[in-house]
Structure 1
Amino acid sequence: MSVLDTIYEEAKLNPQRVAFPEACNEKMLQAAYETGKEGYIYPILVGNESEIRALCKEKQYDTEVFTIIDIHDEDYRKKLIQAYIQLPTALLKEKALNRRMENPLYFAMIMEAVEEADVTFAGIDNTTGEVLLAGQTFIGLQPGISTISSIGLCDIPGYKGSEGSLLAVGDSAVCTNPTAEQLADIAISACDTVKSLLDWQPRCAMISYSTLGSGQGELIDKVVEALHIAQEKRPDLAIDGEFQLDAAIRPEVAAKKVNRESKVAGKANVLIWPDLNVGNTAVKLIQTFGHANAYGPMLQGFNKVVCDCSRGAPVSEIKGNVVISAVRAAGSKQ
């Protein structure tokens, strides 16, 4: 059974409410309908109700599968606004909220902020920047985290690591050249993500071209500083480095290169790249030569689960990311 099959099974046991603010996009609507009808989520369509119902009728979708939220329903809008402005993290007042709630993306985020939804899923009609801005404005960042980043899950045939064929990697999509502080945030968020999604005990390696001082230079210095920041912020997490890739995941290499006790060396299940050049290239190498399935990128760092899917993603991939997001939301509640 693949990791995605396992995640699908888990989603079915505890379906979450997923808000779709791009409900009139045909691919997004199909993904919402199929994941809802198959029992993985409770899909919430957010937008112009008459347009949504017309598209559902055209596609012959049973609207009983959905909860349809009309952004022009004044009573419900007022209910959301009153609930939102009571939040200690609220950044906007009633007038500003009313204006922004003409946009289904913002409407859905406010629903999630006041616990009327568990996930907001977008990214085809809205840009990544728009999704990130809405998420930061209404969902906010986790305590102690100031960086939005991403993590991916690689299922690598033939790889026998500490979690079998699975390896979590980040950031491969969002932060171009993170500072030491941002790199520390990425590592912390990645640990929390794999805990909520896979119930792993994360062993997180900060990757570099050096292992424990075998090399020198400012690129290594950044990774070492990031490690110290992460360990100080979250001493409960097993985050270690700086390690070369082989020292992070191969016990026999770690035995030669890491001459001290480490909970991570040789058995890392989470790898943190030093920058996007490394991360993007590494994932493509894993996919191309390792023939891996790579799931994600999953946004992390928000107080709740916010998703930005690829504009070119097929429906099958969107469905997988919807289900992953729902399982993350359920895990984060625990």
Structure 2
Amino acid sequence: MMDRIYQKAQERPARMVFPEAEEEKILLAASKAAQAGYIIPVLVGKLASMTSECQRLGIDRDIFEFYDIEDEETVEKLASSYETYSYALFKGKSLRRRLSDPLYYAMVLTAIDKVDAVFAGLSHPTGEVILAGQSILCLQKNIETVSSCGILDIPGFEGAQGSLIAFGDAAVCQNPTSESLSDIAIATCDTVKSLLDWEPHCAFLSYSTQGSGTGELVDKVVKAVKIAQEKRPDLLIEGEFQLDTAMNPMVAKKKVLTDSNVAGQANVLIFPDLNAGNIGVKLLQQFAHADAYGPMITGMNKVISDCSRSAPVSELVGNIALTAVRAMY
């Protein structure tokens, strides 16, 4: 999968901004990704500190484009441009105050199309990255929920896409409403399509298959399916399904009595809440030795990435390539 991602990134390198430009691992990963042809890297911060850090690490500073947050003339130009952004929530002094923060500065660059995507998270917790993105970029039309998705590579598994399965959300939304679940499904499907060129076959998971179980938790999922189908009739979205019904064609034949384009052949799974999602992914990682790629933040007007603070440089390079492909396809 990653070979395919790297190839796509090289075909259309993204201009990617890094607001944590004094972090050693960020500079090393960004330079490696640039040398591999995946991105055109842009750094935001205090110019003297950024160039000094590049020199200390032996990185050619000419690889990067720099934005100095202390350059008042450029700040004013960016602020004036952002104020015409159709989703702009901040203007005047409120906006200019935020532009003193590299994270918000990077989001503004993305909003006005100076760059294609933001890559952050090494020195900012997930909540700060999401808050900055939601404040500056805002959410996609008809989407009211910031969420995440990921991709599992499960050894020995043979499904609709070989050993791969996409999922959402196992990182952000603790107890989503039906409306939020529908947003999670739509954003996950769109992300998977842009990354891997799959035709999403999306299954909402539950302990019930089409009415075999009852209760509030089932009702929430049933309602979410209807909302998602109404919002995006172009997508193959069905449910509620138990996991085996979604994944196993033989089980699907026994349990699903109606025609279905998803049962038994799902390649996108939507967990009903964060408990189920987190436990499900970790079960596969621990016992099936699956590799989990992500989480990738979804639902915003532009692409942002929230990386793991413990990630090694090699993993950061992979996530940079994933973010680049999401931004350009």
Return the TM-score normalized by structure 2. 0.98
Q: What's the offset of the Cα at 1:204?
A: 0.3
Q: CA deviation at 1:197?
A: 0.9
Cα distance in 2 for residues equivalent to 1:50 and 1:290: 48
1:44 corresponds to: 42
Aligned match of 1:275: 273
- Matched with 2:263 is 265
Separation in 1, partners of 2:65, 2:239: 47
- Deviation, 1:302, is 0.6
The alpha carbon displacement at 1:280 in A equals 0.4
Give the match's secondary structure for 1:329: helix
Deviation at 1:288? 1.4
Matched residues in 2 for 1:128 and 1:204: separation? 26
Correspondence for 2:253: 255
Which residue is equivalent to 1:204? 202
Cα drift, residue 94 of structure 1: 2.3
1: CA distance between counterparts of 2:92 and 2:32? 36
How much does 1:71 deviate?
Answer: 1.2
Is residue 189 from structure 1 mapped to residue 187 from structure 2 by the alignment? yes
SS in 2 for 1:78: helix
Match in the other structure for 2:309: 311
In structure 1, what residue type is equivalent to 2:303?
Answer: V
> Partner residue of 2:83?
85
- Distance across 2 between alignment mates of 1:148 and 1:291: 28
- Give a deviation string over 1:41-86, Cα, whole Å, max 9, x none: 1110110011000000000100111111111122221221111111
Distance 2:11 2:236 in 1: 30
- Asked if 1:61 corresponds to 2:59, the answer is yes
Determine the structure 2 residue equivalent to 1:148.
Answer: 146
Cα shift at 1:8? 0.8
Matched position secondary structure for 1:211: coil
Alignment length, in residue pairs? 329
Which one of the candidate residues 172, 175, 195 is aligned to 2:173? 175
Correspondence 1:133 to 2:131: yes
2-side partners of 1:134 and 1:162: how far apart? 37
Tell which deviates more after alignment, 125-134 or 167-176.
125-134
* Separation in structure 1 between the aligned mates of residue 311 and residue 302 of structure 2, nearest angstrom: 23
Structure 1 gaps of 5+ residues are none
Residue 6 (structure 1) aligns with? 4
For 1:100, the equivalent position in structure 2 comes to 98
2:267 and 2:274 map into 1 onto residues whose CA distance is: 19
Per-residue Cα deviation, 1:249-298 (whole angstroms, up to 9, x for no partner): 11111111110011111111100000111100110111112111110000
Query: 4+ residue runs of structure 1 moved beyond 2 angstroms?
Result: none
The residue type paired with residue 196 of structure 1 is: S
Residue 231 of structure 2 corresponds to 233
Letter of the aligned partner of 2:267 in structure 1?
N
| TM value normalised by structure 1 | 0.97
Q: Aligned with 2:165: secondary structure?
A: strand
Question: How far off is 1:113 after superposition?
Answer: 0.2
CA distance in 2, matches of 1:264, 1:304: 29
Cα offset, 1:322, TM superposition: 0.8
Structure 2 letter corresponding to 1:276: L
The residue type paired with residue 223 of structure 2 is: E
Shift of 1:160: 0.9
In structure 2, C-alpha distance between the alignment counterparts of 1:263 and 1:120, rounded to whole Å = 36
1: distance between equivalents of 2:6 and 2:73? 36
| Deviation, structure 1 residue 213 | 0.7
**How far did 1:131 drift?**
0.6
Q: Deviations over 1:68-121 (max 9, x none)?
A: 111112222122111111122111112111111110000000000000011111
